[in-house]
Amino acid sequence: MNCYSRWMFGVSLPVCLLLSSLATVGCGPTETDAVPEYSNPFTDPVVGGKEDTGYYNLTGVELHITLEADVEASSYRIFDAPAQLAQFAVTHLRKQETFYIELLAEAVDTPDRVEWLVDGEWLSKAQAEQVDRSKLRRWRLRDVNAVVLDQAADSIAVGTVFNPQVPVRPYDVYSEAGEGCADYNSHISLSQSIYWYLWNPTKPACVLERQNMTVTVTEVLPKGFSTYPEYDRLWEDNQLTVAVFWAKLSDGDVTQDYNWDNFARFSDWLIEGQFTEVETDLGRRFTKQIGDKSILVDVYGPDVFHSVADSTRLPNWQNAVSTHEVVLYNGHSVLGTGMAFEQITYPDFYQVFLVASCLSYEYYVRPIVDGKGGWENVDVISNVEPTYFHENRPLVGAMLAKLFWGFEHDGQASWRDIMQAVSAKLGHSRFGVSGARDNCFSPEGDLCEVEVKDCEDHLEESACATAGCTWAECPAHLTCDRPYICLETSELRFESTPALAIPDNDENGASSTLDVTDTSTIGSLKIQLDITHSYVGDLEIILAHGDTSVTVRDREGNSTDDILGTFDVTAFDGLSLAGPWTLKVIDHAAADEGVVNTWALIATPSL
């Protein structure tokens, strides 16, 4: 899942300084910046944790969206052009201070994910490469990650459409518009390569062919799930190891860098928090003993590692990542490279990363999760909008103080508690955590273990002798896992087995209706599908109930066979289960046929 952000309070300069045509992004202050004074999180009174009730961002929600627009570019650039064009949408929506899209241009797989509309049919990149490139104009990109915040997060729904203004020719903006469509920034030398970052199509001087990109919300990811850091894995050796990087921020000599002050004052905070300094070869090392457990914190200054593009000192970064469970980076981002996160080898143990810089959500989270091989072994705290240079120290302090408290107190500090501590210290909620949705630890036990119960006492002998335990044969408070086993659950399940043929290349599609008499209010809903089809990329699947209709899948999967799985559907949350539910499956292309074998609704009633 994902990086987070929101609007900026205060008067200080943001971290996002693009210092040259290389577009370095960091947190350098100016002489006129007023720096607030923050209290020491390690000596602040600590309020105990409470059971977590749900988290992504404290004021936000994560989405999946589809981007669609026209584009013009030379034949050798046409397949990369949609991602470049999407960068302009990123900026336009970000300036509305509520909607944030992943940065797309640096994702190497983005061109392969784009579909092209040619002669009325959507083609994959592989198919589009076989046609005359002059026909490639209309494109779409689906399942893009985004975050909305504050009041918008409360009202966002599947089907919501945004229309950011973007150019038609993304590679020609500077030559065609000069400075007319860009905001002035004293730290940035305007060029074509970074024009998207300063894009402002509302300026009166902006004389350029523009268009409204269509940005459609296709899924709103659920917020309500219990989640904690994996404390049990952090306890395995009775020691929590932390690396804090204060990288280079200022433009001048590293010996005069602003982050030396953060380096020194953060070290003072640790000493005031009863940590003891011990000798080490690099940076400063602090330890604290709590019963049979200990905490070790290595603090590194700007001389150890300058930025995410610092290849010279990359071994220092590699060594820290390899030997610490918690790694916190505070410093420059660099547009066009995530070298420090992309070119290292990650250990196989559970880690927590914090990335506090300008480009974080998706930009640097993606290479971390790729390097870790998935979310099983990592959680990542990140921001969606630039961090103010003076916020990094209280951010790191508040996050670690709460994590340390949880480490010492039987894991009682949830991710929600940790992020609330950060938000309270900074006065905003533009940081969030990715990868925590499926964490297993909780103080009450393993969230990933499911209690099983022998089902034989609840079934007739004849049923046990044949197909085993089926959904219909399980008692109402149980669901079926495998023959003779039922799982304790609060879920309700309603199934239809229509064995319904899907007409080939027919916009009318095939419809199946399921009548539900249960009057429970939906807390969360999933749809389970068993569909046989020889080319699932042809299929659009729609679920309707009352006045609400949602597209569950829209021509995904290309040439793969069959759909067999369970999908989250959030559009019906808060509605009554009672009444007819209609599943509609439309085959949009010729030559392949299929059958809706079974479909089911799995609902968790609201409490």
Decide if pLDDT at 543 tops 90. Answer: yes
User: Please, what is the Cα angle at 557 between 553 and 561, to 5 degrees?
Assistant: 110
Residue 375's pLDDT band (cuts 50, 70, 90): confident
262's CB contacts (< 8 A; 6+ apart) are 246, 330, 392, 393
85 class by beta-carbon count within 10 Å (0-12 exposed, 13-18 middle, 19+ buried):
buried
From 67, 84, 95, 70, select the one nearest 162 (Cα to Cα).
67
Decide if pLDDT at 367 tops 70. Answer: yes
Give percent of the chain with pLDDT exceeding 70. 79
Q: What DSSP character marks residue 184?
A: -
Residue 33's pLDDT band (cuts 50, 70, 90): low
The Cα 476–Cα 489 span in angstroms is 9
Q: Note the pLDDT of residue 91.
A: 85
The Cα 203–Cα 181 span in angstroms is 6
Give percent of the chain with pLDDT exceeding 90. 38
Q: Note the pLDDT of residue 360.
A: 55
402-423: average pLDDT: 88
Tens digit of each residue's pLDDT (9 = 90 or more) over 200-231:
999 999 999 999 999 998 888 766 456 799 99
Q: What DSSP character marks residue 149?
A: E
pTM, to two decimals = 0.58
> Residue 337 in 3-state DSSP?
strand
Q: Note the pLDDT of residue 442.
A: 86
User: How many CB atoms within 10 Å of residue 154?
Assistant: 9
Kindly tell me the sign of the dihedral angle through the C-alpha atoms of 186, 191, 195, 197. negative
Q: Note the pLDDT of residue 52.
A: 32
Residue pointed to by tokens 């975050």: 147
Phi-psi label, residue 82: left if phi above 0, alpha if psi -120 to 50, beta otherwise: alpha
User: Please, what is the Cα angle at 564 between 558 and 567, to 5 degrees?
Assistant: 90
Decide if pLDDT at 409 tops 60. Answer: yes
Tens digit of each residue's pLDDT (9 = 90 or more) over 413-437:
888 788 878 888 887 777 778 777 7
Decide if pLDDT at 570 tops 60. Answer: yes
The Cα 217–Cα 142 span in angstroms is 10
Q: Note the pLDDT of residue 167.
A: 97
From 45, 95, 155, 51, select the one nearest 410 (Cα to Cα).
51
- Please report the domains of the chain, with CATH numbers, ordered by start residue: 24-29+224-434 (3.40.50), 60-220 (no CATH), 452-488 (no CATH), 492-605 (2.60.120.260)
Three-state SS for 496-539 is ECCCEEECCCEEEEEEEEEEECCCCEEEEEEEEEEEEECCHHHE
Residue 604's pLDDT band (cuts 50, 70, 90): confident
Q: Note the pLDDT of residue 544.
A: 94
From 154, 155, 114, 351, select the one nearest 243 (Cα to Cα).
351
Q: Note the pLDDT of residue 436.
A: 79
99's CB contacts (< 8 A; 6+ apart) are 93, 146, 147, 148, 152, 162
> Residue 94 in 3-state DSSP?
helix
Kindly tell me the sign of the dihedral angle through the C-alpha atoms of 24, 30, 36, 37. positive
Phi-psi label, residue 238: left if phi above 0, alpha if psi -120 to 50, beta otherwise: left
Q: What DSSP character marks residue 46?
A: -
Kindly tell me the sign of the dihedral angle through the C-alpha atoms of 33, 250, 364, 163. positive
Cβ pair 479, 455 in contact under 8 A: no
What is the DSSP pairing of strand 378-383 with strand 333-334?
A: unpaired
Run of H or E including 143: strand 138-149
Q: Note the pLDDT of residue 22.
A: 35
The Cα 340–Cα 337 span in angstroms is 8
Decide if pLDDT at 381 tops 90. Answer: no
Q: Note the pLDDT of residue 55.
A: 29
Decide if pLDDT at 557 tops 60. Answer: yes
Q: Note the pLDDT of residue 560.
A: 78
